[in-house]
Structure 1
Amino acid sequence: MSFKIGFIGAGNMGRAIASGLVAKGICAPADLRCVSASGKGAEIMAQKTGGSVAASKRELIENSDVVILAFKPQHLETITKEEANALAGKLVISVLAGRTLESMQAVAPDAANLVRVMPNTPSQIGKGVSTYCFSKDPSAQEKETVEAILSSLGTAYEVAEEQLHIATVINGCGPAFYFRIVQLLGEAAEKRGLDKTLAMKLAAETAIGSMELFNASGRDPQDLIDEVVSPNGVTHALLTSLDRNGFPQIMDTSAGDAVSRSVELSQSK
């Protein structure tokens, strides 16, 4: 597969995608172009990937098969009519948080297809999880292209756009949730006499091993929980305390609050 990719916006996520594409051989450096508002981000991306900096957004679009929107979400409407015309017939992929397919369609009505993607920060090391949706049924080539691009970040799963709100809570917000767990366990351990740095390493490595076991086993989480829990043992005390203090309700309420905020943000743009 060979295609030319243009990045409008060259922040952390744009650079992560571009670097992954080149590292995995999905895109040759010569086929990668970028442009950014200040020009500094594009220069960094070009230096990091071997790609080139485009003279303008329009020039980038005209010389790309796939255009990736990776700038600040509130700047979507700054796409000019001339640039929108240049997007006609192009596959346009957006990583603009909260921007709906409808809002993208309003800006690029003649694009061949539009793709809305929610990546996450582990994409920076090729361990990301992305969720995505198309504005219309994709051709086999479009689907293959999108999957190839997102595979450079890690794994990717297609969902309906209305499901992106809850998917965002899981894969988009998820890293912050797991970082918070590690942080809190470190603080609890330090309070009880264990070095905080060691505690956080124990927490992180245990989480990684546990999740790899879960993925490899294909089993229900409860089955794996039951293997760890002994009646009236230490793990039993931990889980009982979590339930007694409302952890299941906290998780459900927090997920609901985050979904509501996702919906609110998408409607305000």
Structure 2
Amino acid sequence: MKIGFIGAGNMGRAIANGLVAKGVCQANALLCISASGKGSAIMAEQTGASIASSKLELIEQSDIVVLAFKPQHLETISEEEATAASGKLVVSVLAGRSLASMKDVFPDAANLVRVMPNTPSQIGKGVSTFCFEKVPSDEQKETVEELLASLGTAYEVVEEQLHVATVINGCGPAFYFRIAQLISEAADKRGLDKDLALRLAAETGIGSLELLLASKRDPKDLIDEVVSPNGVTHALLTSLDRQGLPAIIEQSTEDAANRSIELSQNKK
């Protein structure tokens, strides 16, 4: 099974690196090409992938075609290149590009897959959400799940759910990074070394979220185990609620999901 990457930026390279590192495929099964040639050169150096001379050559020689370039360049795929993808699985990590817009470009693909990965995929700790254009065969589903497992974990959703899922797993890393940044800055103002505060915030976050997953308990129950009446944690949570954190999260989720819908509609 040959996998071709059109585009070789951070996400394309993360997938390729993961496939090789986890033994999903050998380096000689990977092909890549990028607009400037820089990304494909890096991917080739990191993974041993071959660099295709053209997109047409790459598509012709690949069983699976991964679209990992800038979303606005989808329509630059030529009719000849689209024809070469007939009967093949086309996987897109193009933000905001709907399955309908992919279908317009690749009408005869065996199936189309839209994926929303996230940046922790670079270290194999990613969370991806994905959807198929049509009901997949068992082989297609297994192939996509295996491919995305090279990045971390993956969950199938229907396309309409991808907007909200994007807010969680796509935007989520920036949210947690922002929280860690604000915590470390607030601690620094109060005399705690900023680098130490950042480590405390990051490691506490990792441990807490791993406990949430491992325990399979409601977050409210885990909160109750930390809070003592009129204690420090109680003061923290009371202050957060008083300043409107629940409303902020609700409105931010709504705004981000609406923006995802808007971008998708603008690009069909």
Alignment of 1:1-269 (within 5 A): 3-269=1-267
Q: CA deviation at 1:98?
A: 0.1
- % identical aligned pairs: 75
Q: Secondary structure at the residue paired with 1:93?
A: strand
Q: Which runs of 5+ in 2 are unaligned?
A: none
| Deviation per residue, 1:82-130 (Å, 9 max, x gap) | 0000010000000000000000000000000000000000000000000
Q: How many pairs are equivalent?
A: 267
SS of equivalent to 2:230: coil
* 1:267 Cα offset (Å): 1.1
- Measure how far apart 1:131 and its partner are: 0.2
- d(CA) in 2 for partners of 1:125 and 1:200? 19
How far off is 1:55 after superposition?
1.0
- Distance between the aligned counterparts of 1:92 and 1:83, measured in 2? 12
Distance (whole Å) between structure 2 residues aligned to residue 138 and residue 144 of structure 1? 9
In the aligned structure 2, how far is the partner of 1:259 from the partner of 1:150? 23
Which 4+ runs in 1 deviate beyond 4 A? none
Q: One-letter code of the match for 2:155?
A: Y
**For 2:4 and 2:30, how far apart are their aligned partners in 1?**
6
Q: CA RMSD in A?
A: 0.5
Secondary structure (helix, strand or coil) at the match of 1:34 reads: strand
1:27 deviates by: 1.2
Query: Aligned to 2:94, what secondary structure does the other structure show?
Result: coil
Distance 2:209 2:38 in 1: 38
